[in-house]
Amino acid sequence: MNSVFRFVLGGWLAAAAWALAPAAAVAQEFPNRPITIVIPYPAGGTSDVLVRAISEPLSKILGQPVVIDNRAGASGAIGAQAVARAQPDGHTLLFPNNGLVIAALLGKQAGYDPIKDFAPVSTVSAMPMVMVANKDAPFTNLSELIAYAKQNPDKLNYATAGVSSYGNLATHVFAQQAGIKMIGVPYRGEASTTMAVRTGEAQVLLTSPSGTMLGLVKDGTLRILGVGSEKRSELLPNGQPIAEVVPGFKSEIWFGLLAPAGTPPAVIKKLNAAVAQVLADNAIRERYLGAGAIAQGSTPEAFAAMIRDDQQRFGEVVRKADIKAEQ
């Protein structure tokens, strides 16, 4: 081997080893202090239940305390901003849902970019949306609903918790893909929308599978028309996927962990492995099912793709429908 070539090759290998050394050291040292998971919503909600279920197991695996910090306000923007500006070392994480994307689309002053300002770690849970109808509605399944809407323009209405709510945007996506028109009837909060469909004030609702809603389905007051998961859901095994009638439709509320952009890949990998280990525990899976959610992890790359997909789909809806943030 030529001595010059050996010299160049040796230098290249030494440089490569030097470049890789810091990443390995970071992964080995992480975590070296408590990890804070910021929930950008008030205490007591679904996010709280899901995070607190995994905080202790994560702490045991990672060898450091996991602290929960509820920072609600501005549709989740306050908590998101705090994590986006945190030190990118893996010790401060965000636990958002799809609202992270929606708030950024509707709020010009959100103060963060859901793609550029965060490094996805893993999804943690998925909650398929459910389309329900009043028991006396003039349709009993999705095909009949679509036929009714086409035969009766401007007569099909749906309950919504607000123009900027996930359910409202998802309903817009459904109507666009089904080629029908639906009229939104606004109410304050998901509980009010469920009651509106129960009493017949509104005909249809696309919502998360709350205990109240499932109870009304069980007693026959509400009828499930379809679920937003691509395949049959273990939460609602008898619910027909909407995608079987409206190809390509998907509507699931995801929950996941994000780190600040710039967090070392070795740290992201270590966090992702810890989350996967926790979610593989049957006790955690059962606890999630009891909360109306499915334990569902992912690779960082798959989670990033989900966020980009939400931004594209909902961005298109916001532009076409000219949806503005509620004041």
Final residue belonging to a domain, choices 188, 221, 244: 244
CATH code for position 153: 3.40.190.10
Q: Which residues contact 288 (CB under 8 A, 6 or more apart)?
A: 50, 53, 125, 294, 295
| Residue 22 lies inside a defined structural domain of this protein | no
10 occurs within a structural domain = no
Same domain, 230 and 275: no
Where does a domain end: 244, 274, 299? 244
- Is 92 found in the same domain as 155? no
Domain count, the chain: 2
Q: What is the span of the domain harbouring residue 191? A: 130-244
Co-location of 209 and 139 in the same domain:
yes
For the chain, 327 residues long, the average pLDDT of each consecutive 10-residue run is 43 45 62 97 88 96 96 90 97 96 84 96 94 94 96 93 88 94 90 92 91 84 93 84 94 96 98 98 93 93 96 89 71
Same domain, 162 and 89: no
Q: What six digits make up the tokens of 128?
A: 């398929």
Contact 124, 151 (CB under 8 A): no
pLDDT at 88: 97
148 and 194 share a domain? yes
Q: What's the 3-state SS for the chain?
A: CCHHHHHHHHHHHHHHHHHHHHHHHHHHHCCCCCEEEEECCCCCCHHHHHHHHHHHHHHHHHCCCEEEEECCCHHHHHHHHHHHCCCCCCCEEECCECHHHHHHHHCCCCCCCCCCCEEEEEEEEEEECEEEEECCCCCCCHHHHHHHHHHCCCCCEEEECCCCCHHHHHHHHHHHHHCCCCEEEECCCHHHHHHHHHHCCCCEEEECCCHHHHHHHHCCCEEEEEECCCCCCCCCCCCCEHHHCCCCCCCEEEEEEEEECCCCHHHHHHHHHHHHHHHCCHHHHHHHHHCCCEECCCCHHHHHHHHHHHHHHHHHHHHHHCCCCCC
Give, in order, the Cα–Cα distances in Å from 188 to each of 153, 194, 208, 215, 298: 26, 11, 15, 21, 33
274 and 229: one domain? Answer: no
Structure confidence at residue 44 (pLDDT): 84
Query: Last residue of a domain, which of 177, 212, 244?
Result: 244
Q: Is residue 279 part of a domain?
A: yes
Q: Is residue 3 part of a domain?
A: no
Residues 136 and 240 in one domain: yes
Does residue 305 lie in a domain region? yes
Q: Is residue 14 part of a domain?
A: no
Task: Tell me whether residue 327 is in a domain.
Answer: no
Q: Are residues 257 and 199 in the same domain?
A: no
What pLDDT shows up at residue 6? 45
What are the phi and psi torsion angles at 25 (to 5°)?
A: -65, -40
| 171 shares its domain with 313 | no
* Together in a domain, 135 and 240: yes
Q: Is 140 found in the same domain as 236?
A: yes
- In this structure, is residue 202 part of a structural domain? yes
* Predicted local confidence at residue 21, as pLDDT: 44
What is residue 113's predicted lDDT score, i.e. its pLDDT?
Answer: 95
CATH number at residue 101: 3.40.190.150
